[in-house]
Structure 1
Amino acid sequence: MNALQQHLLDSYRAAQQGEPAPPVPGTHDLAVLRAAREHRRFEAVLAGRPVPGRLRVAVRRWLAVRA
């Protein structure tokens, strides 16, 4: 059973019991990825390592292309 089939089954059960439908699969994927990134950055700060930001990554990528 894939995620869509499970969602349809859960939606049917929720409708039968008068409960709200569960969220569609993939609804919170971006929020989970953002939370994981923020956790990695937090751990880096606690360990005393430099936190890679967008600018640092962009410059490193640009320099790698030029070399």
Structure 2
Amino acid sequence: IEKLLTINEPNRENVFEVLRDIGVCRMLKEEDRRLSRTNRPYDEKFIIEKLYYDKDIRIKNYQYPN
């Protein structure tokens, strides 16, 4: 996930390069607890819904707003 979030200009090629090396991607509860709910170093929602969506890249199991 960190590699995906650091892509400055996401496109199908550079996102695929990261995704093809990931078999299963999930966050462990222990890892999730370490992330501040109010002060995260990045905003996943913004990255997924704005940056990736604008580049026509969709996250398969993400619940996009209507």
Note whether the superposition's TM-score is higher than 0.5.
no
- TM bin (shorter chain): under 0.3
By relative contact order (CA 8 Å, sep 6+), the higher-ranking structure is: 2
Could you say which structure has the larger radius of gyration?
A: 1
Instruction: Report the structure, 1 or 2, having the larger helix content.
Output: 1
TM-score (norm 1): 0.28
TM-score (norm 2): 0.28
